[in-house]
Amino acid sequence: MSKRGCGSPEHLIHRRLFLEGTMAGASASAASFSGQFSIPAFAKTTQRAAKKCILLWLCGAPSQFETWDPKPGVETGGPFGSIPTSLPGVHISSLMPQCAGIMDKLAVIRSMSTKPSEHFQGIDALTRGDTPRPPFTRPILGSVISQQLGQIDSPVPQFVLLDPCPEGNEFKSFKAGNWAGWLGAEYGPVRAGGDYSIPNLDRLDSISDLDHEDRETLRQFLSRKFENDQRSDAAGALNASFQRVRGLMSCAPLFDLNQLPEEDRNRYGRGAFSQHVLQARHLIENGSTFVMVANGMPWDNHVYQHEMHQMLVPELDNVLFQLVTDLDQRGLLEDTLVIAMGEFGRTPWLNEARGRDHYPNAWSLAMAGGGVDGGVVNG
Amino acid sequence: MMADEIKQAHYWGLVAFFNRGKNSDSNGTLKVEESAIGGFSEFADLSGESTPNYLTFLETETVSEVRPDGKEEQEDSDDLYQANGSPLFARVPKFSRREQFVKQVVRDHPRLALAFVNRIWAILMGRGIVHPFDEMDSMHRPSHPELLEWLAEDTRQNHYDLKRLVRGIVRSQAYQQTSVRRAGLEDPASFAWYLERPLTGEQLARSVMVALRGSADSDVVGAFRQQFPEVLPETYVSTIKDALFLSNGSILQKAIEESNHPDHLIPKHLEMESRDEQIRSLFSRLFCREPDATEMEVVATYLDARKERSVEALQQVVWSMITSAEFRFNH
């Protein structure tokens, strides 16, 4: 446990307000994210600075012991040691040598404590800020941030979800859910990934650009009439997604990873998760407000957790290092918050299959940038 | 079910019901065969104490079964299987664990009737009394518990008569509500208006073909099903990818362009001399209603501006109608 110079009192308040926002699930706060951002002073500050956010969503929930909070030497500590970091006295897992070198830029919370111990409830609580409140659906963090801080008329999508399989895989039922909730479908994410591109972004040759636009205007006219006459939320959602088509088409090159330098692509690593993190940086640099990078659900290691984490953690270590370093060098880190977290932690003990099970009582996450002081380890 | 409602014994019990199955390809046909022996094991809890994997399913009594003592080897023999089997089918053990499982479920399992009526209700009404309809657990309470219980009891007593259940629901006032949501109504769980629901991928593909060609035969069903895989979604979610698929994908565009037989929608409407008649007929064919004055004017303006390329113009109008919400939703 250690703390380094916390900065001015203003910073303290600043950080606390933010933490309340990101971790409302932990404190069982009844307020929504937008409630947090309605604190006028805070909202003004963030807007002025055009804050952005990249969420590395470690779905399945990584082990705190093999990442930020190692306990070497104890019976269930696992085979991996701990290493010193650029912060005197602070050790993290030996699987994370690169992040150890930039600990002065990271803020690590080792005292996360949440309630839900199952994935979907955990994901919901951590990304929507609280437990469900039927019949209303809380918007997801990215929807709230992009609504509050984003530029709604920008053609560049403000909220992007990158995942190897954006419509399917293990956390499919979560992904199929209503992300934007009560904010409305226009604040839902643009989903991309897998082949690092979005299908059907190019206009067919059989229609001119002008006709393409007019045809859409006619479609909106007919479809909006139905939406209004029926007072239909579903029709509203449909119309909102069509409304974004032309804007997204205009920034198609942003989604083409092949336009990024080969050197960058190799530096991040050629895995889907790594490439998506690079793509997230690219999108943030070009006007997106919130990019969420997921990787299916690989972290749920009830079986052979050491072997699995031995593969997963070094990849995380590298991309987090590359991302934070890049943002810093490009002068973007001050205004871009990077969060790496899952939906809970893993048990201190090992199960029969040498796995770690779900453990929401005490776990860890890491942040960098966005005005959050680096070199802080809490808990 | 929530994890704390499912005991370890349920998990291993469910495994045991099915762990005697194996693939076989005797006589050249692939089939799943069930063995009459084996499949006994123990599981350990966190304290290390072990328990046999009894045939246990949620909320029913454990099925009794003779378990071999200790290390006693069981021997497989024809006596353990039903004699009158056909060589075409896999042989069936006299004591079949899988059959026992089915009995546990279909012989008055306490949740069977509830799950049955809730699912039918969800198909007909757009959402379950317990919603989502397939998550009937302590997290998801019924919006109308008495109604669910009453329907379940009636269905139980009438031997799961599906026709009776469907008839009962569709003749209810709730089913016959208008799809126009009145002001002040917010909660879909009130069933106070007819919940509009998206056509499934297959319904949409076939509806498009009926509109364009007058026949539900469609070679685009596969592509639509892949793009719109949801059948009974928990909530309708429209993605920008769906919009891109319909706006820029070649599948729909090709279907429209190739619907060029004289009997098809677009060629027929091209022949109509009166703009008025043309637009009225389009609305009737695609929306089953008359256009209002503004709609008449807007569509006429669109077509008039493109008189020199009337085929394209009409294709574009048809596109804008079949991709609009009125066509997309069952309402």
Of the two residues A147 and A1, the one the predictor is more confident about is A147
| Measured distance CA(B226)–CA(A264) in Å, rounded | 34
Compute the count of residue pairs across chains A and B with CB atoms less than 8 Å apart. 151
B6 contacts chain A (CB < 8 A): no
| Measured distance CA(B37)–CA(B271) in Å, rounded | 74
Nearest to A271, CA basis, from A162, A160, A164, A171: A164
Please name each of the domains of chain A with its CATH number. 9-197+259-378 (3.40.720), 200-255 (no CATH)
- The pLDDT value recorded for residue B233 is 84
What integer is the mean pLDDT of A38-46? 39
Q: Which of A120, A186, A200, A249 best probes binding to B when mutated, by most B CB atoms within 10 angstroms?
A: A200
Give A32's pLDDT tier (boundaries 50, 70, 90). very low
A188 contacts chain B (CB < 8 A): yes
Torsions phi, psi of B3, nearest 5? -60, -35
Q: Which of A119, A169, A222 best probes binding to B when mutated, by most B CB atoms within 10 angstroms?
A: A222
Of the two residues A100 and A173, the one the predictor is more confident about is A100
Give A196's pLDDT tier (boundaries 50, 70, 90). low
Give A175's pLDDT tier (boundaries 50, 70, 90). low
- The pLDDT value recorded for residue A238 is 94
Q: pLDDT per residue over A218-259, tens digit each?
A: 999 999 999 999 999 899 999 999 998 998 898 888 888 888
- The pLDDT value recorded for residue A99 is 98
Token pair of A335, please?
A: 């205004």
pLDDT along chain B (331 residues), means of 10: 78 95 79 90 87 92 87 84 79 93 90 96 95 88 97 96 98 95 92 94 97 92 92 83 95 96 96 96 97 97 96 98 96 90
The residue behind tokens 């008495």 is B146
Of the two residues A50 and A358, the one the predictor is more confident about is A358
Give A166's pLDDT tier (boundaries 50, 70, 90). low
- The pLDDT value recorded for residue A181 is 87
B324 contacts chain A (CB < 8 A): yes
Q: Is the pLDDT of residue A336 over 70?
A: yes
Query: Do the Cβ atoms of A258 and A21 come closer than 8 Å?
Result: no
Give Cα separations from A172 to A57, A125, A141, B128, B225 (angstroms): 14, 17, 18, 20, 17
Give A364's pLDDT tier (boundaries 50, 70, 90). very high
What integer is the mean pLDDT of A293-316? 93
- The pLDDT value recorded for residue A87 is 95
What integer is the mean pLDDT of A358-379? 95
Contact across the interface for B241 and A232, Cβ inside 8 Å: no
Minimum Cα–Cα distance from A350: chain B residue: B46
Contact across the interface for A248 and B298, Cβ inside 8 Å: no
Contacts of B315 (CB under 8 A, 6+ apart): B256, B257, B266
Q: Which of A21-35, A190-204, A260-274 has the highest mean pLDDT?
A: A260-274
Of A116-120, A317-321, B10-14, least confident by mean pLDDT is A116-120
Q: Is the pLDDT of residue A5 over 60?
A: no
**Helix extents (H) in B172-292:** 201-213, 221-227, 240-248, 250-257, 265-271, 275-287
Give Cα separations from A305 to A60, A94, A300, B75, B141 (angstroms): 12, 16, 8, 38, 35
Q: Is the pLDDT of residue A129 over 50?
A: yes
Q: Is the pLDDT of residue A348 over 70?
A: yes
- The pLDDT value recorded for residue A49 is 53
| Measured distance CA(B298)–CA(A196) in Å, rounded | 39
- The pLDDT value recorded for residue B251 is 96
| Measured distance CA(B256)–CA(B246) in Å, rounded | 12
